[in-house]
Amino acid sequence: MKNLINTLNLPRDLGRCFSLNIFSLLLIFYISGIIYWYQTENLYLLISGIFILPLFLFFKRPFLIFLICLFFFSLGALRTSYNNFSENKEIKGYGKIITFPKKTEYYKEVQISIKSASRSIYSYNTIRFDKEAQIKPLDFIYFSGIEKKRLFYRNDNDYPKFYSNYLFNRSFIKSRFVKKVSESKLLETLLALRERIKEKFSVLDMEGRPFFIEVLFGERTLQDSTRDTFNKSGTAHLLSISGLHFSLTIFFSYIFVYFLTFLFPNILLIIPRQVLTIIFALPLLVFYALLSGLSIPSTRAFLIFLSLFLFLLLKKNTRYPSLLSLIALTFLIFDPNLIFSISFQLSFASVFALVIFGEKISSPLNNKIKNRFLKYILGTFLATITVNIFILPVITNFQGKLFISAFISNVFAIPIFSFFILPFLFLSMALIFNDTLFTYLLMIPDNAYKILVFLLNKINVINAYINLDFYFNFKTAFIYYLFLFLLLFLPRYYKILSLVAFLLFFIPDKDTHPKNFSAVFLDVGQGESAIIKSDNNNLIMIDCGGNIYDENIFKRAYAPFFRKHKVKEIYAIIISHHHPDHTKALKDILENVKIKEIYLTKEARSNLKELPENIIIKEVATPEKFTVDNLNIELIPPITYDKKPNNNSLWTIIKTKDKKFIFTGDTEKRFIEKMIKKISVEKDEVIYLKVPHHGAKSSFYPDMYKSLKPRSVIISAGADNIWDLPSKEVINFLRVNKINILRTDAQGQITIN
């Protein structure tokens, strides 16, 4: 086998990568087991020997490695399969809260470790309580409620099967009752101190106040516009708790120990300085892990430092890839579904990038550059480029596109943050008992924050001129990472071959036209949105709303469809009325897609604030007709205005060569009679009618169906919505009259070709 390695001229680094980093190998097989389960949901065939065969090249005891890898592959599949989901089934249980509550406008959500339950259920689960519930981490509680599915919109996307299955099978427990059984007194004291420190920052009259709270406590407090600045510049990692926070904690512990040993040098005769630093740093690390909200990055950093302390006390060397892999494996054994978390992916991928490629970066700098400052600047720049290249698929998946400013901003953002913001924020926490010193000290990070945001906004301007709008799906991401590792470990001439292979397999699809539909009624939950496509691929969108309880409706419902069909431009958006279930995604669509025109009523315009000035906005007060290629479009405003916005819906009629689509908004019964008098239907026309108001009884007017004689009707509603729409009366009438019913709540996206 060694001869085979020599024959192929494979570098020893590649052998060491596999043979010495056993935990990385186990992590790969464990993740493969998770993916295998979601791909097949089959536990009978867990692994094929062909995947193990290449490992025989690098191990002296291949059969033992085979058994270990097989065990972890099976463990990943079995651990993931233990999720007996029963929608809308009652459940009672007892467990411990293990995360800080996530607060939203409608509820409070926590993760819970379930100790016992009335039926078999995943032991690590999510529970939503009333937003006024008084709960804290490590509280033991009794709960009762029902298990419900998380939002999953069934629209066209390029997700692999295993990821779609994961999204479809996610669940949470909606609790109606909670009773606190016990709580930790020590934790109660620590949390009270946390709240006291946070309150000090909350009352600051400084521009950087929300930034300080987010950076120190892990709570989302920044405005969307400012957060967007960090996202586009590739510096969003500064907003999360990272290893830098814990490094500073250890640094200040070391400074304290240094002064302590200076005053009392005899201490060093009993306890070495390193051990003394660990003794003082460890409780601070525990406190800060709690202070930061127990996020994935902060927990990862805490476990890394805890492990390093242990190795230091035992006087053992450690291998960072193995240590990171072991910690990642611990996370995933605790909850396999974390592998699909953006926070988990970014947190570990970025650190793995620095660990794996760090030596390649640092060696040339140490050998050729003597100036420390220049070495730091170049090191920061190269590390930033390395991390951005390594996490590129994750970032483009999260943002939907790549911003070129991400490769530039960190060069100055990291030094500003590392030297002028975070250290002074840490020092300020020690001065909360003196308001004057506390405020004066925070002027330094506040001014540094202002400079940082100003520079990021200036750098982000280049995104408008250099458009790198591409997206990685699972296949291209796999090829991309395979190429990166081959580029790292293979000899020079093999690198050239891998580059050629990469270019052959990674050719992007140049067809930018939406395809495979002429009309689409999107699944947006309890809301409405439809797209009609002309012969020349111009798009007309009628409404862009969705589930009002979903803060990420665009990313979950619209973005996957737009990426699948390469939607970059929409000719016109027509808004029926201003209710959020018809307009919720409008802001995000305007930010991510080029729009030429918007048509809406005067009432809708007055209720929709901050419409961009660079788009033609037309208020429709009288019936209006226009054409877009082969589409003849007619807009019919309400006959008379009513106090109810539903009755002021703008109707849209789009006619093609042989079809007519009629969109009725949320108009109710007594106004429908007046509106249908404005519509004429020719003898041979095929009518597709969008049922008013999601099929509500208040909008049921039988004469409309008799007059228009639709071949099919489309009902856009959310599955299991609280209003029980569409109404049974509407459905029964349509069935009795043999009208074809298409429903987004039952079928997902409806496509008409």
pLDDT tens sequence across 495-526: 677 777 666 666 555 444 555 668 999 999 99
Please indicate whether residue 329 or residue 303 has the higher confidence score (pLDDT). 329
Q: Of 34, 53, 81, at which residue does a domain stop?
A: 81
Residue 488 counted as domain residue: yes
CA angle 548–551–557, rounded 5-degree value: 80
pLDDT of 36 higher than 90:
no
| Residue 400: per-residue pLDDT | 66
Nearest to 187 by CA among 224, 135, 227, 138: 138
Contact 121, 96 (CB under 8 A): no
User: Are 440 and 546 contained in the same domain?
Assistant: no
User: Are 173 and 235 contained in the same domain?
Assistant: no
| Tens-digit pLDDT profile for residues 379-399 | 667 777 777 778 788 877 776
Provide the 3-class DSSP secondary structure of residue 146: strand
User: Are 258 and 179 contained in the same domain?
Assistant: no
Q: What's the rounded Cα separation, in Å, for the pair 179 and 230? A: 40
Q: What's the rounded Cα separation, in Å, for the pair 377 and 126? A: 43
For the record, the structure tokens of 2 come out as 């060694």
User: Are 128 and 65 contained in the same domain?
Assistant: no
Residue 407 counted as domain residue: yes
State the sign of the Cα–Cα–Cα–Cα dihedral 159, 162, 168, 171: negative
User: Are 219 and 357 contained in the same domain?
Assistant: yes
For the record, the structure tokens of 100 come out as 């800080």
Q: Of 400, 435, 464, at which residue does a domain stop?
A: 464
Q: Which letter does DSSP use for residue 56 in this model?
A: G
Q: What's the rounded Cα separation, in Å, for the pair 347 and 694? A: 42
User: Are 614 and 740 contained in the same domain?
Assistant: yes
Residue 512 counted as domain residue: no
Number of domains, the chain: 5
For the record, the structure tokens of 48 come out as 């094929």
Residues in CB range of 451: below 8 A, 6 or more apart: 416
For the record, the structure tokens of 695 come out as 């099929």
User: Are 157 and 273 contained in the same domain?
Assistant: no
Please, what is the average pLDDT of the chain? Answer: 80
Other Cβ atoms less than 10 A from the Cβ of 610: the count is 7
Strand order across the 712-715 sheet: 624-628, 631-636, 651-655, 659-663, 686-690, 712-715, 740-743
Least confident range from 179-193, 353-367, 677-691: namely 353-367
How far, in Å, are 24, 60, 319, 358, 381 from residue 387 at the CA level?
Answer: 19, 34, 20, 10, 10
Least confident range from 70-84, 161-175, 576-590: namely 70-84
Least confident range from 93-107, 659-673, 699-713: namely 93-107
Terminal Cα-to-Cα distance of the chain (whole angstroms): 57
| Residue 3: per-residue pLDDT | 37
The pLDDT-based confidence of 664 (bands split at 50, 70, 90) is: very high
pTM recorded for the entire structure = 0.80
CATH number at 726 reads: 3.60.15.10
Residue 513 counted as domain residue: no
Q: What's the rounded Cα separation, in Å, for the pair 37 and 30? A: 11
Residue 325 counted as domain residue: yes
Strands 140-149, 171-182: pairing kind: antiparallel
Please indicate whether residue 480 or residue 356 has the higher confidence score (pLDDT). 480
Please indicate whether residue 600 or residue 308 has the higher confidence score (pLDDT). 600
CA angle 312–349–314, rounded 5-degree value: 10
Instruction: Count CA atoms within 13 Å of residue 439 on its CB side.
Output: 8
| Tens-digit pLDDT profile for residues 234-287 | 777 777 776 666 777 777 777 777 778 777 777 777 777 777 777 777 777 777
User: Are 147 and 221 contained in the same domain?
Assistant: no
pLDDT of 532 higher than 80:
yes
Q: What's the rounded Cα separation, in Å, for the pair 277 and 251? A: 9
| Residue 17: per-residue pLDDT | 41
Instruction: Count CA atoms within 13 Å of residue 17 on its CB side.
Output: 15
Q: What's the rounded Cα separation, in Å, for the pair 75 and 334? A: 12
Q: Of 81, 111, 127, at which residue does a domain stop?
A: 81
Nearest to 248 by CA among 415, 423, 376: 423
Average pLDDT over residues 405-430: 80
User: Are 174 and 206 contained in the same domain?
Assistant: no
Nearest to 582 by CA among 608, 564, 618, 612: 608
Residue 511 counted as domain residue: no
| Residue 533: per-residue pLDDT | 93
User: Are 137 and 232 contained in the same domain?
Assistant: no
In single-letter form, the type of residue at position 238 comes to L
Residue 510 counted as domain residue: no
pLDDT of 558 higher than 80:
yes
Residue 133 counted as domain residue: yes
Q: Which letter does DSSP use for residue 516 in this model?
A: S
User: Are 227 and 372 contained in the same domain?
Assistant: yes
User: Are 170 and 221 contained in the same domain?
Assistant: no
Range of the domain at 230: 192-464
In single-letter form, the type of residue at position 410 comes to N
**What Rg, from alpha-carbon coordinates, does the chain have?**
29
For the record, the structure tokens of 65 come out as 């490695």
Strands 712-715, 686-690: pairing kind: parallel
CA angle 172–177–182, rounded 5-degree value: 100
